[in-house]
Structure 1
Amino acid sequence: MSDPGLDELAAELSDFAAPEKKGGRPPREERIIAGFEEIQRFFEKHGRVPQHGEERDIFERLYAVRLDRLRALADCRALLTPLDHQGLLAGASSVAATEEAIDVDELAAELAGAAGAEDITVLRHVRTSTEKRAAEEIAQRQPCEDFETFKPLFDCVQREIKEGIRETHAVHKLDELKLTEIQQGEFFIVEGQLAYIAEVGDDIRTKYERRDSRLRVIYDNGTESDVLQRSFQRALYRDEAARLVINPSAGPLFSDEVSEDDQESGTIYVLRSKSDLPIVASNRDVLHKIGVTGRSNIAARFANAKNEATFLLADVEVVATYDLYNINRVKLENLIHRVFDPARLDIDIKDRFGKPVVPREWFLVPLFVVDEAVERIKDGSITQYIYDPDSARLVVAGRRSEKSH
């Protein structure tokens, strides 16, 4: 009678056995098949073919190049077609026509590392504990029920990254940036997704007496996770392509005293429209155009307002101005518009020539909130705030108003 303990051990060790050889195939073909199987596993995990792009994970970019080359080579297609139950080879190759042809030997050499060592002591087709933890963390994500609250933030950050208003830095250089803890309001790019730290909970102690905290992380695909800060940090460091999105910094824009070295850079202006449009007339006290101009003569800037669709084809009155010194006007204006984006007026009108125009600088915001925003620009805290139309106040970005609960 066999020993049950030995039987269990044998069953467990069978998972680590080297895969059987595939019926006398040459080593070159086995390496090509192994490389293709990695692409298939990627497809099964993510539900899409690997894609190119600097924002993609380094392994995904490698798989994308590999798939392009497999598609481009007739010998490889003939070898892999019987195994291609997902139709991966049917897509068009993005390899440029001007590239030199790569024969099967060159491809096999490139894929050699993908097949792993031939030594039977090397574990293959067995997930490491790190990979298992990563899979578990992804599985713990759930739909974000109030994602519409956060979507304007994601749209704005993506636009600011594209326009150069925000920069991204490799997570592996965080020590150089002296960022030791994850903060509420920060954005990261991890596993190819934009992630927003909506909430940071109170400090807790782990069973090993280490400090930790619970994070609410919102992702740009409409999901969220409730993870420990240390777990999220591990996910960042596992992803070699992970990036920290740097907040736009307004810097010290104002001071009570202007020194001789300061140079006036422009003015924040707040305007009220005299338009007779029903939506304007019914909201005149809270509807304001907010922008930044470099002109010292504000009145001259808006003298022709009634002929410009961006001014709602009506005269305007200046209700507030704030002088700026030593500041990038474009970045500041973009920053202000990001803060008030949830209250942006959604209207389109036709200009003098009948062409439709969508004014982008009109916001349904009380003047006292604009005053507060300017104060937060002064102390540099404005980057952490966004306007909440439900409560008519500035709130920490991502924090829901009481009415939304």
Structure 2
Amino acid sequence: MSDIDYLNDPLLQTAEERPKAARASIVELAGEALSRINAFVEQTGDKPVSTSGKSVRERMLANELAGLRASRSELADLESADIHGLVFDTPRSQNALDDPLLSGADEIFQVRDSLKPKAQPDYVADRQPCHDFDRFRPAFDMVRQSVEQGSRTPQPFHQEKVELGEFFILKGQLVHVADVRDEHRRNDKPDARLRVIFDNETESNLLMSSLVRRLYEDKDARRIGLTNAGPLFDGAHTGFVYVLRSRSERPEVRGLLKVGTTASAVEDRVARAETQAAFLFAPVEIIETYKLIGYSAKEAERQLHAVLRPYHVALRVTGPDGRTYGATEWFRTDTHTIAQAVKRCFTRT
């Protein structure tokens, strides 16, 4: 007689009768993802980033990191394993406008080469503390007061672009467009790099197209128009005029100076010069800076460029993506001429 127990032999059990493998908990899965991210940081010395040009592995790890940050309230048991402070030491940003999963970068796997290539961001914008929020605080207070008093009525958002000085309500937060930089066309539509200030004293340098998309996605978003920013900042420090020299080795750049304005620190403005067409995709050297008092940075730039128009030189530069870009703020002149132009345009600098 056979020794096989036909009633209890696991090979003869039906699917319903076989013991089910224990499923890993959410915390265990998150712990495995955090271990992979920690290993990447130890190997490369930097956190994973999900942008064009990065490896598939790094972009997948960046997306896992974004998921861990979004779910950190449920993963308190993993805080001790976050040895690089990438998840729990990062400021919370529940209303973040530039989560890597929503940044508009291409899919990780590109399988249809015949499609028209999409414009890629030069980098993914992040929220960070606004260190000069005190100079924007009066404008925020004024807008809140005018809305409460009924003198200014928030309107539904129906725009293709935003303007310098405008205020919006996004996800319950008051948002101010403090600066508009590097205007260009993206996917055949006007776009620009913005400096956006939030009423929780943070800021972001996201693209105009990103802000417009978030405003359309939020059904409760509202516009509080205020394009004339001058009176809000009368007598206040509103930015800088900067004079730069490119470190590019291109012969046509020799002897040229770049003149522009910024509402933030000049060092912050040029920190990513090698990734931006406006700086010819090359590092730059800061030659001179002038502090603006009471002038909108954008309007100040228009006035200054109009005075310097006789010295203007239009440049074309090819970016890392193979596309050609225009660079419009370069002038063949000297620092003395620029100083006289600044003095002519602005009585308070």
TM score, norm. by length of structure 2: 0.34
Bigger radius of gyration: 1
TM-score (norm 1): 0.30
